[in-house]
Amino acid sequence: MIAAMCSRCGRLHDGDGDWNVAITDGEITGSLCPACQTPEEHIAATINEATLDYATDANGRVVTAPKGTTSSLRVHAIPQHVHLAVDGQTLEMTPAQARALCRELARAAQVADRLRGVHGHG
Which positions touch Zn ion (CB under 5 A)?
6, 8-9, 11, 33, 36
- Residue 37 or 46: which CB sits closer to Zn ion? 37
Q: Characterise 83 by phi-psi region: left (phi > 0), alpha (psi -120 to 50), beta (else).
A: beta
Tell me the C-alpha distance between 93 and 100, whole Å.
10
CA 89 to chain CA centroid, Å, is 19
Kindly state the smallest distance separating residue 100's Cβ from Zn ion, in Å: 27
Kindly state the smallest distance separating residue 15's Cβ from Zn ion, in Å: 14
- Residue 16 or 57: which CB sits closer to Zn ion? 16
- Residue 8 or 61: which CB sits closer to Zn ion? 8
Tell me the C-alpha distance between 100 and 92, whole Å.
14
